Structure 1
Amino acid sequence: MTTKATILDKKAIERATTRIANEILERNRGTENLVLVGIKTRGVPFAKRLSTKINEIEGVKIPVLTLDIALYRDDLTEKYESPVVINDDFEVNINDKIVVLVDDVIFTGRTVRAALDALIDKGRPRKVQLAVLIDRGHRELPIRADYVGKNVPTSRSEIVSVNFHEIDSIDQVVIKEKGRN
């Protein structure tokens, strides 16, 4: 795959994170009953960054939980030959909380649908909102993010690759072209 363009660099990711954190605080009138749930894998470091930023702004540490949706995907048999069940019990009760699901990219909406199913198995939140760093369009389900770092129109032959320093040793978002070397 060939890198076609860099969409966001480290500074742009920081600005988007700050803006989304402020939008979450504004829409929810503060931090009361707020929980961030990162969708594994790259939603988790993004959720932690949002929590850190909210703490800087409000002086309140928001819990960050990890949600593994592998067993809830509608393409489970295509992706995994033998899926492994991981016990990811939440250490925070999400009943009657405002849960902000956090992911790096929203594309077809199927990951978010799986995350909603997994989340409901964990409890009954008062409200669920969605925060994503990149919205690339091409929805197959009627799902929309409440908080978006950047809208990036893409073709289906492109891949949006989000790299976080915690996982990839670099902060950047790039578009890659499928089928090219």
Structure 2
Amino acid sequence: MNSAAVEQITITPLALPGVLLLRPLTHRDSRGAFTETWRASTYRALGLPDFVQDNLVHSKACVLRGMHYQTRKPQGKLICVLQGAVQDIVADINPRSAHFGQHVSVQLDAQAGDQLYVPPGYAHGYYTQSNSAMVLYKCTDYYDPEGQGGCRWDDPLLALPWQLKGAPTVAPRDEKWPPLAAQ
């Protein structure tokens, strides 16, 4: 294991167990910038699992995606923003958890290059804060449409602190998720 590679990443544990904010080292010069966004051996040495699928999402301004989770094949996710900015929220929806109903909210933007690791079992969503955003996330398991789940992005039990600029654009599927109290 190349310990110098691990030293290239600053890790900040967040308030929910296993949720991490990662900042890979960016090298800047007169031409622009270079960042190594992922190296299997480095992330494995940090204790993160292997990833098997990448997803790329383009969103317009004021689009809110979430709150999503998987029931049959829970996915861990490593999220980064390639263009624009989003507010990303992770919520503990496990009623047996000591952290049930708690959440963390972080700003992710292409300029800073931060990454967010969301372990399996949490609900996750984000809101586009810029004119558009391109979000890339690596997943620890393959998407299973039969195991998709969700809860309301505006669930009163969670009281998520969305920084909305007017009414968000939400997919019909996301509007139909029940609140946690009804699940």
Q: TM-score, normalised by structure 2?
A: 0.29
The structure with more strand, counted as a fraction of residues: 2
The structure with more helix, counted as a fraction of residues: 1
